[in-house]
Structure formats: structure tokens, C-alpha cells
Amino acid sequence: MERVYISKIPDYVDQEVTIKGWLYNIRSSGKLMFPELRDGTGIIQGVVVKSAVPEKVWEDFSRLTQESSVIVKGSVTKHPKKENVFELQVTDLEIISIAEPYPITPKEHGVEFLMDRRHLWLRSPRQVAILRVRNEIIQSIRDYMYENGFILFDTPIFTPNACEGTSTLFSTDYFDLGKAYLSQSGQLYAEAGAFALGKVYTLGPTFRAENSMTRRHLTEFWMMEPEMAYCDINEDMDLIEDFMEYVVQRVIKNCRSELTELGRDLSKLENVKKPFPRITYDEAIDILIKKDIPLIRKTENGEEHIRPFPWGEDFGAPHEEAIVEDFDKPVMVHRWPAEAKSFYMKRDPENPKIALGVDVLAPEGFGEIIGGSQREDDLKELEKRIAEHNLPMEEFQWFLDLRRYGSVPHSGFGLGIERMVNWICNLENIREAIPFARRPNRITP
RNA sequence: UCGACAGUAGCUCAAUGGUGGAGCAUUCGGCUGUUAACCGAAGGGUUGCAGGUUCAAGUCCUGCCUGUCGAGCCA
């Protein structure tokens, strides 16, 4: 009897099959039982008729507990009442393991309770759907990059210095060489890769030791960072919109049932097609002024300081929301005040106060999911920036070499994988977007 | 780090300062088409911790711990 995955069950109507999985739930009705079986690809309801199975099979079913592992044989039939739903008319049962009382019931649970049992929570249909979407997002990123000539370029996780010199890093002892830091970005190394291979991308974990306790932050998250030689900020944005359209449309195509399980409004995602709106930072500020969204800062004595949004400040959550709400696509905000951005960004030749950076804000208030820029390619300018930011010049000599030996205009961006999952799946909190989320207050399981 | 809110049965929640309850889960019984199945019964509690106010505290006050959300920072 053929072993079949539940996702393939519609191909086996009226045939005898074997399903290997776990008991998700069971209802009984005296001389009938309805076990729900899951195998990672789906859930199917079995029908056990007392008079139609050996006594041992009936007794074994009545011993089963939630999440017991079982191998079940039976024939596939159409559901008597529901269209496109199939059942298994059970003939035989083999118990692999009886589960102890399972803590996660098909009822509501709090987030802390579930996160303490994340290793079990992953089995529930919603989490399975999210992780399948995550898989499709990452696979479509890899396929897009491969098909467009990008070379996967793996960058180190142990690094000797702060990549951007801004956020706090995790540190660890590194033999006789002092401290090593966990990478917060592979970008600087990817720039070396771009000069060797033309177009590269990194895809791996990155680390930020910021004590950020919000629905959008992790201390360990996955980032995808393309880097292209002979590429300016406008071509960078061309790539962003082409790439994002590809990924989103492919997830819609291949993960329709998962997105439905998550209750996702697909029409919102179907809008994600090029071109995306491109607005400058100055234009974004005009929107904030027009909508009367002020900048609110708390002073040290706790008083709120409210003023019209001033040029030079970075946007907070309410500002991002106001900028995005008039659009039904991701919005690219470009040409930022240089002071608010990293040292490596190239200045606008037309205005030295402007950096050629771009942030991509996801629709529906999901906030920033991409940050990118054209990189400073002039040796003297870059040296000046490193000095201004009080970064260790010695550590950056290899990075400066890229400007000494055949410097070219180049650009790239960083995409937060979990933020992409967060948005596409319409999640409440980013901790569901990765199998085992790492946040300041959690490192287990 | 700062701010707001919360912590009661295994879980999700209720309880005017006056005898701590319900649903689910668990165990037992019933039911031949159930869909978070249903019906009946049983067991299950140091109300986060430490102080204080009061005749009396789950409830009010102080401190601490833990969590959620938000701010800052960012992908």
C-alpha cells in the first residue's frame, strides 16, 4: 500500500493509501471516531467505523492522545458534505508512540506560553503555513538572484570591528586576537565581492545587540544583501522593485493555501507590481507637513516636545505610516540627510548634505523592510567619513583598498527576511516569522 | 534604557474590600457524520514575590520579578 503525503491525497481518490503522521485532534461519537491526521504537508480527517474495523484497531484509536505518532491505512473518499475535501476511511492503525498529555490544545493560548513551547508550537497549522511562506520567499530570492547573474557570496559572521559603527554588537573572545564581534551586516565584504564577481549577494544571519522590544525587532535575523559594481542609486531602485515584484508574485502563486490559512488579503499583495512610487526625503517631509504629523520627542524631565517635522530627522513609526498610507505598494524614499545615515553612503553630487540612500517602506504599516544606498567610491571622501565617525582607520584599510584599486560606482541594499515574512503573512509580531526567535528577553528554546 | 498596561486552576479568563468561579484540557461514563463536536460526573488553587493599610486584601498602597505593547534604534 503506497505511502502518500496528505497534500497529494486528491490524486488518490478511491485508492488505498498509507499515511504516516501525527494525531492532530480526535472526535468520537460512540461507534464512530474522527481522527484528524497531520503529516507536515496537510491535515486530513479519518473516519473510523467500529463495526468495520478489527476490535484492536478500534481500541487502539480510543487510546490515542493528541500528537501521538501513527501510521494509518485506509481508502480515500470525497467528503459527503464538503467540496474539494477528502477523508480517509480507516482500515488499519499502527501506533508508533503514544504522546504524553500535549500542552498546546486547539484552544487559545498566550504568547509567552506558546514561545516557551516554540518547539511544539511549530506543529500548528498557522505556524506551518508561515514557515512554508518563509521557505518560498527565500527560495524565490535565491532563484531571482541566480537567474539574474548574482553570485552567492558568503560573508563572515565573526568580524573584527563595527561594520557601520552605529548599533551595539555582540562580542566574544577570539583567541589571542582580542574581541570578535558578531556581524550586523555583510555589506562591506559584499563590496569586495562585487569588485571581484560583478554582482553578488549575501544571505545569512546578522546580529544586533540593541535592547529593542517591539513587534519588528529580533536580535538575530536573516538578511539578504545584493551588491553591484557599476550601479548607481537609480539602478539600485530598479533592482529593488523588479526583485520585490518577483518574490511577492511568486509567493502568491505558490503559497495560495498558506496565505489563505493565515487569513491574508491577497488583493493587497497582488498590487505589488512595478513601478513603485519613488519619493525623495524632501517630498516625504512635505507629506508629513501637509498631514500635520509632528515630531514628538521626550526630554530628560519627561516632558513632550512637539514640533513640525524638521529636516534632518529620521522617521518614526507614525511618520512611516503617514507616508505609506496613500500608496498601495511599497514606497521607496530616497536621498536622505547625510547625517542620519551611515558613513559609507555616497553624497549627492548636487548637494553634499544629501546621502544617496533609499529606504523601502512596506504597505499596510509594516514599516521599513529594505535599506540601501549607492556607496562612497572616492578614497579621500571615505577616509574623511571614517574619521568623522571616529571609526578605527586601521581596521578599514582593506575596505579603503577597494577605492585604491579600481574604484567604481557601486550600490546595494539589505532586505530583512523576517520583516518580509512579517509583511507578506500579515503577522502581529516578527517572532512568528522565524522558527526560533531571538529577542533580548529570550534565548530558549 | 524610558513609558503604559498586565500577572488568579495545566490553558484562556471571571470574581462591589466580605465563603475564589466558568469554559477548555485531564480521568470516568454516554452518543453512528463529528468540525475548537456535544451531554453527564470527578479531581485540580500559597491569586508572581516581599512588605504595608484594614476587623477583613485576588481587589487598596510601596518595592521587586516576569511578560505584553509603545518610544528610541534599526532590517
Among residues A128, A140, A364, the alpha carbon closest in space to that of A249 is found at A140
CA–CA distances in Å: residue A313 to residues A121, A309, A320: 41, 8, 12
* The three cell numbers locating residue A412: 546595494
Buried b vs exposed e over A83-99: b needs ≥16 C-beta within 10 Å? eeebbbebbbbeeeeee
- For position A390, what pLDDT does the model report? 83
Per-residue model confidence as pLDDT tens digits over A387-422: 988 888 888 999 999 999 999 999 999 999 999 999
pLDDT (mean) for A352-356: 94
Whether nucleic acid strand B comes within 7 Å of the CB of A310, the answer is: no
A367 touches strand B (CB under 7 A): yes
**A199 & A339 share domain:** yes
Which neighbouring-strand residues pair with A74?
Answer: A17, A90
Mean pLDDT value of segment A375-379: 96
Average pLDDT over residues A279-302: 82
φ/ψ (deg, to 5) at A370: -135, 140
If you search the block for the grid coordinates 573572545, which residue do you land on? A173
- Spacing of A34 CA from B41 C1' in Å: 24
* Buried/exposed A38-75: b ≥16 CB within 10 Å, e otherwise: bbeebebbbbbebeebeeebbebbeebebbbebebbbb
pLDDT (0 to 100) of residue A317 = 85
Q: Are residues A148 and A88 in the same domain?
A: no
Q: Are residues A134 and A250 in the same domain?
A: yes
Residue ending a domain, choose from A33, A64, A97: A97
Residue A210 phi, psi (nearest 5): -80, 135
A298 in a structural domain: no
Report d(CA A132, CA A432) in Å as an integer.
12
Asked if residue A423 belongs to a domain, the reply is yes
CA distance A390 to A242: 37
Nucleotide nearest the Cα atom of A220 (by C1'): B75
Average confidence (pLDDT) over A116-130? 92
Per-residue pLDDT, A307: 82
Residue A418 belongs to a domain with what CATH number? 3.30.930.10
Chain A 382-441 residues whose Cβ is under 7 Å from strand B: 414-416, 418-419, 428-430, 441
A214 phi and psi, to 5 degrees?
-125, 175
CA distance A397 to A156: 17
Cell numbers 520627542 correspond to what residue?
Answer: A297
| Amino acid A3: pLDDT | 94
Q: Is residue A259 scored above 90 in pLDDT?
A: yes
pLDDT of residue A107: 79
Nucleotide nearest to A89 (CA to C1'): B33
**Assigned C-alpha cell, A235:** 539602478
Average pLDDT over every residue of A41-47: 93
Rounded CA–C1' distance between A47 and B71, in angstroms? 54
Q: Flag whether pLDDT at A91 surpasses 90.
A: yes
Same domain as A124, residue A81? no
Q: Which residue is it, cell 535565491?
A: A142
Mark residues 145-174 of chain A whose C-beta is closer than 7 A to nucleic acid strand B. Answer: 164, 166-167
For residue A76, what pLDDT is reported? 96
- DSSP-assigned letter for residue A100: P
- Sort strands A199-207 and A151-152 into parallel, antiparallel or unpaired: parallel
Question: CA(A104)–C1'(B33) in Å?
Answer: 26
**Average confidence (pLDDT) over A131-160:** 96
Host domain of residue A388? 118-277+327-433
Same domain, A355 and A267: yes
Q: What's the pLDDT band for A164 if we cut at 50, 70, 90?
A: low
Question: Are A361 and A404 in the same domain?
Answer: yes
Whether A441 maps to a domain, the answer reads no
pLDDT at A178: 85
Phi, psi (rounded to 5 degrees) for A180? -115, 155
Residue A194, pLDDT score = 97
| Residues A346, A209 within the same domain | yes
Does pLDDT of A145 surpass 70? yes
Q: Using CA atoms, how far apart are residues A261 and A252, in angstroms rounded to an integer?
A: 13
User: How far: A206 CA to B75 C1' (Å)?
Assistant: 10
Residue A9, domain CATH: 2.40.50.140
Lookup: cell for A301? 524631565
pLDDT, position A106? 78
- pLDDT confidence of A163, banded at 50, 70, 90? low
Return d(Cα A57, Cα A48) in angstroms, integer: 9
Cα–Cα distances in angstroms (integers) from residue A246 to residues A135, A157, A196, A249, A372, in the given order: 15, 29, 27, 5, 18
Write down the pLDDT at residue A258. Answer: 94
A297-306 pLDDT, tens per residue? Answer: 765 555 667 7
pLDDT one-digit tens code per residue, A195-219: 999 999 999 999 998 888 888 999 9
Number of H helices, E strands in chain A: 13, 20
**Predicted local confidence at residue A300, as pLDDT:** 55
> Among the ranges A92-101, A109-118, A189-198, which has the highest mean pLDDT value?
A189-198
Coil, strand or helix at A425 = coil
| pLDDT at position A177 | 87
d(CA A128, C1' B22) / Å: 32
Q: What's the whole-number mean pLDDT along residues A320-348?
A: 92
- pLDDT given for residue A248 in this prediction: 97
The predicted pLDDT at position A331 comes to 95
Q: Is residue A440 part of a domain?
A: no
Judgement on whether residues A82 and A32 belong to the same structural domain of the protein: yes
Query: Is residue A302 in a domain?
Result: no
Q: Which nucleotides of B are covered by protein (CB under 7 A)?
A: 1-3, 10-13, 23-27, 30-38, 66-75
The residue that minimises its CA distance to C1' of B29 is: A30
Closest nucleotide to residue A30 (Cα to C1')? B31
pLDDT over 90 at A179, yes or no:
no
**Which sign does the torsion angle of CA A428, A429, A435, A441 carry?**
negative
Across chain A, mean pLDDT equals 91
Tell whether A218 and A84 lie within a shared domain.
Answer: no
Between A302 and A168, the more confident residue is: A168
Number of structural domains, chain A? 2
Closest to A428 (Cα-Cα) out of A114, A31, A3: A114
Q: Are A133 and A203 contained in the same domain?
A: yes
Query: Are A123 and A201 found together in one domain?
Result: yes
Which nucleotide C1' is nearest A372 CA? Answer: B75
With a CB cutoff of 8 Å and minimum separation 6, the contacts of A236 are A228, A358, A372, A373, A374, A411, A412, A413
pLDDT for res A28: 86
User: Do A76 and A223 share a domain, yes or no?
Assistant: no
**pLDDT of A299:** 59
**Cα radius of gyration rounded to whole Å, chain A:** 27
Domain boundary among A42, A63, A97: A97
Determine the average pLDDT of the residues in A57-86.
Answer: 91
Residue where one domain finishes, among candidates A97, A130, A165: A97
Omega prior to A54 cis, within 30 of 0: no
Q: How far is the CA of A50 from the C1' of B34 (A)?
A: 15
Percentage above 70 pLDDT, chain A: 97
Per-residue CA distances from A48 to A19, A93, A200 (Å): 14, 10, 56
